[in-house]
């Protein structure tokens, strides 16, 4: 399974509760843009136009009346022109514990809304998702996907991070586009060699669920994990949490034991270590590693912690994705007695528009990078996973 997050736009398109009413903004040069104000940061404004496009505008380039309108919106959500977001965290938003078991619905009503004849696509809707397919898919497949997506959404709502899913307005539906035709998948904006992409520009997932004869393996793509991965990304909202957090969290949720609308926490530390090891070894062999093929005692070397969490390591490779999975597990479930104080402060800092460097300092919670690396190496070695972080060239 290959999954790609398309970084065409860093902010998600969505109908959110505190978005302003449509405004017409005029630049000093006379250009007019009508849309909803989404976010402003460092006097750069993002709006969603009436036709669904995202437009960025520099506030200082707006005429006075438009600047005042934007300033008024920023104040109404508790911010200013340096930073304003629709999201306001309640006192309990970051006090929740990590969910142990998520009980979703085992059966989800699924309505067939319409067939878009011009685009030759079929549209079905559950409570919070819209499924758009290029073929009339089996009802059982669609219902299973609906149950899975709704359960994943519920899982994300229960996480102690005040994610954007908690602020989507009633009636907002995330879109999942399903393709039997690989050429259709590519035409929609996918990249050859991948079976799922997440497009943050429109907060949608494109997933190929047809035969994989043209890919590396002649088998049906594993639909469940890749759809869960995409849904988690839809729930995160318009913030750059860093590749380690976004990839690690989506992979962690996708790796959580799931069955018929229920997620059960992965509590077996030895099994978790084997999961991380299997992901890391796939990059070396480019093959799926079964549990029986894992050699106990094999040591894995990951990039330095600073590179992973602060300097934007490349998370396309399976080894770095394994590192992201490991870091989510450690910072969310193990660190500081399982309270996850550091990662909660990290997420809250990002949501407040603070710099990645400042957020990382909160994540470390007064420790140096090498101290945390040693803590992580020691903890997992006690549970059968030997690992070490590479030398940090930045001191």
Structural domain spans, the chain: 1-13+90-239, 23-84, 266-395
Q: Are 123 and 115 in contact (CB under 8 A)?
A: yes
pLDDT at residue 290 in the model:
45
The percent of residues above 90 in pLDDT, for the chain, comes to 36
| CATH architecture of the domain with residue range 1-13+90-239 | 3-Layer(aba) Sandwich (3.40)
pLDDT digits (tens, 9 = 90+) for 197-221: 988 777 889 999 886 554 444 444 4
Strands 299-302 and 386-389: what pairing?
parallel
| Average pLDDT across the chain, whole number | 81
pLDDT at residue 298 in the model:
72
Strands 111-116 and 121-125: what pairing?
antiparallel
The residue-averaged pLDDT of 77-100 equals: 76
pLDDT at residue 14 in the model:
35
The percent of residues above 70 in pLDDT, for the chain, comes to 82
Topology (CATH level 3) of domain 23-84: SH3 type barrels. (2.30.30)
The DSSP bridge partners found for residue 34 are 24
pLDDT at residue 293 in the model:
44
In terms of C-beta density within 10 A (0-12 exposed, 13-18 middle, 19 or more buried), how is residue 92 classed? Answer: exposed
Q: For residue 19, what pLDDT band results from cuts at 50, 70 and 90?
A: very low
Residue ranges of alpha helices (H) inside the chain are 64-76, 139-158, 182-187, 223-236, 243-255, 269-285, 305-309, 318-329, 341-351, 356-364, 369-381
Residue appearing with tokens 């450690």:
330
- Looking at residue 333, what DSSP letter applies? I
Q: Are 138 and 174 in contact (CB under 8 A)?
A: no
pLDDT digits (tens, 9 = 90+) for 168-190: 777 788 999 999 999 999 998 88
The residue-averaged pLDDT of 9-18 equals: 36
Strands 204-208 and 174-179: what pairing?
parallel
Q: For residue 22, what pLDDT band results from cuts at 50, 70 and 90?
A: low
The residue-averaged pLDDT of 32-59 equals: 81
Q: Do domains 1-13+90-239 and 23-84 have the same CATH topology?
A: no
Q: Are 199 and 8 in contact (CB under 8 A)?
A: yes
pLDDT digits (tens, 9 = 90+) for 135-167: 888 899 899 999 999 999 999 999 998 888 888
Q: For residue 394, what pLDDT band results from cuts at 50, 70 and 90?
A: low
- For residues 273 and 384, what is the distance between their CA atoms, to the nearest angstrom? 7
In terms of C-beta density within 10 A (0-12 exposed, 13-18 middle, 19 or more buried), how is residue 42 classed? Answer: exposed
């Amino acid at each position: 399974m290959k999954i790609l997050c398309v970084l065409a736009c860093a902010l998600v398109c969505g109908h959110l509760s505190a978005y302003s009413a449509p405004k017409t903004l005029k630049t000093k040069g006379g250009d007019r843009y009508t849309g909803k104000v989404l976010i402003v940061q460092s006097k750069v404004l993002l709006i969603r136009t009436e036709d669904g496009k995202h437009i960025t505008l520099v506030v200082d380039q707006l005429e006075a009346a438009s600047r005042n309108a934007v300033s008024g919106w920023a104040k109404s959500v508790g911010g200013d022109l340096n930073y304003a977001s629709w999201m306001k965290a309640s006192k309990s938003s970051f006090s929740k514990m990590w969910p142990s078991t998520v009980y979703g619905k085992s059966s989800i009503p699924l309505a067939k809304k319409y067939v878009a004849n011009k685009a030759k696509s079929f549209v079905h809707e559950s409570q919070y998702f819209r499924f758009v397919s290029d073929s009339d898919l089996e009802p059982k497949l669609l219902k299973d996907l609906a149950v899975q997506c709704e359960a994943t959404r519920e899982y994300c709502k229960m996480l102690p991070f005040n994610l954007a899913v908690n602020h989507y307005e009633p009636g907002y539906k995330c879109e999942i586009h399903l393709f039997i035709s690989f050429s259709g998948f590519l035409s929609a904006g996918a990249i050859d060699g991948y079976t799922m992409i997440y497009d943050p520009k429109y907060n949608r997932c494109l997933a190929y669920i047809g035969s994989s004869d043209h890919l590396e393996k002649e088998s049906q793509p594993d639909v469940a994990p890749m759809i869960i991965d995409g849904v988690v990304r839809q729930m995160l909202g318009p913030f750059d949490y860093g590749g380690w957090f976004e990839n690690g969290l989506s992979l962690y949720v996708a790796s959580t034991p799931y069955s018929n609308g229920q997620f059960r926490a992965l509590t077996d530390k030895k099994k978790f270590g084997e999961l991380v090891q299997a992901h890391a070894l796939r990059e070396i062999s480019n093959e799926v590693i079964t549990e029986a093929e894992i050699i106990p005692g094999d040591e894995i070397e990951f990039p330095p912690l600073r590179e992973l969490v602060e300097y934007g390591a490349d998370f396309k490779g399976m080894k770095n994705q394994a590192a992201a999975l490991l870091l989510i597990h450690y910072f969310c479930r193990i660190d500081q007695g399982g309270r996850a104080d550091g990662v909660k402060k990290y997420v809250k800092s990002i949501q407040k528009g603070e710099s990645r460097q400042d957020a990382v300092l909160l994540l470390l919670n007064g420790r140096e990078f090498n101290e945390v690396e040693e803590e992580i190496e020691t903890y997992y070695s006690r549970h059968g996973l030997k690992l070490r972080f590479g030398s940090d060239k930045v001191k």
